């Protein structure tokens, strides 16, 4: 199936529920090399992971986007339409990798250096 068809029938179906205020989760499960990352992110769509510039969601060229960029576009386009007199909206996202008995928060800020004990600067 194409990335679009896969998205529409899986993660895309969750977005209306999310926008209605319900909690949603999408799981990408499989053996190593089975395509979980491809399903989640798609092929490399020109994103420089070290860039501080915001992503551009172009109308064309997104055929190979996975679920995450497609969901991001759908959510933020919908939120842009939904913001109004009802007040501010809040959105939070978590992304975990489960490997064996380890859980890794993929969106956490890595700790740089080590904390000193006993005060000081």
Q: Which residues are annotated as a binding site for ATP?
A: 30-37
| Residues whose CB is less than 8 angstroms from the CB of residue 13 and which lie 6 or more positions away in sequence, other chains included | none
Q: Which residues are annotated as a binding site?
A: 30-37
């Amino acid at each position: 199936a194409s990335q679009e068809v896969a998205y529409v029938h899986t993660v895309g179906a969750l977005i209306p529920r999310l926008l209605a205020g319900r909690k949603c989760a999408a799981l990408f499960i499989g053996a190593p090399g089975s395509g979980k990352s491809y399903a989640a992110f798609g092929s490399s769509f020109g994103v420089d992971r070290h860039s501080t510039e915001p992503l551009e969601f172009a109308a064309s060229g997104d055929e190979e986007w996975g679920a995450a960029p497609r969901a991001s576009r759908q959510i933020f386009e919908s939120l842009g339409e939904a913001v109004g007199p009802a007040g501010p909206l809040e959105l939070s996202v978590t992304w975990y990798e489960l490997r064996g008995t380890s859980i890794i928060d993929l969106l956490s800020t890595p700790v740089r250096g080590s904390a000193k004990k006993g005060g000081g600067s």
